[in-house]
Amino acid sequence: MGRTYRIAGLRKAVAERLGYSLRNSLPVALMTDYDASNLLTVYNGFKQKLGRESPSITAIITKAVGDLLRVNPSFNAVVEGDEVSEMDEVNIAVAVETPRGLYAPTIKNVDRKTVFEVEADLRRLSEKALNGTITLNELTGHSFTVSNLGHLDVVYFTPIINPPDVCILGIGAIRSSETSARGHLTLVFDHRVVDGAPAAAFLRDVKRALESLG
C-alpha cells in the first residue's frame, strides 16, 4: 500500500468552497475555439522587446476579459443565496497552482490597468501564493475567475465556478499548424443567474476580442 494522508488544511478548504459551488449553483459549460494568430503575434512581439518581463498569455486574455466585463455587468457579478450583486469594480481572480494547493489571487480593477500592470500584479500575487505569504484580502473581492491550463496541453476543461462568482473562464491550449493557430475557451456559468443565449454571446465577444488583438 502506498501512502495514506488526510484531506486537510488548504486542500480541504478549497474542496469545501468548490463543493459549496457545485451544490448551490446550476453550472453550464459552453466551449468555443478562436483564431489565436493575433494573440500570438502580440505575445511574441512583447517577448521580443521585453524578454522575460513580457506579459503572459494569461495576462493578455485576462485584460481582454476585464475590458469586456466593464460593459457586460451581468457577468461581472456575485451571488449569495438568492441575491445577485453586479459589481462596480472589475476584479478578476486567476487560478494559480502551488505545492500547497490551488490559490486564486485577485487582480483588482483590471479594466483600468494596462496589460503590463495586469502582468505585474499577476507575477507579484503568484509569487506570494507560491511562497505562502498571500493574504486573505488578496484572495477575495473577485467577481470573475480565469483558469489557464493551456501550458499543460489541456485543450478543453470545465472548471468549477469560484464562489461567489457567477462565471469562470477556462483557457485551453493553442494548437498551431503551418496554416493556423487555434485557441480554446470554456465558459462555465451559473444558470440561476445567466441564461444560455447571453452567455453564448459573451463567449462570442471574448472570442472576437482575442481575434482582434493588435
Active site residues: 191
Specify the DSSP element, H or E, that contains 14.
helix 9-24
Is the peptide bond between 198 and the residue preceding it cis, with omega within 30 degrees of 0? no
- d(CA 39, CA 150) in angstroms, rounded, equals 14
Residue 52 CA to its chain's centroid (Å): 22
- d(CA 65, CA 170) in angstroms, rounded, equals 12
- d(CA 212, CA 214) in angstroms, rounded, equals 6
Find out whether 159 and 147 touch, Cβ atoms under 8 Å: yes
Specify the DSSP element, H or E, that contains 152.
none
C-alpha distances in angstroms, 195 versus 49, 75, 200, 201?
42, 11, 9, 10
To the nearest 10°, the Cα dihedral for 49, 36, 74, 154?
-100
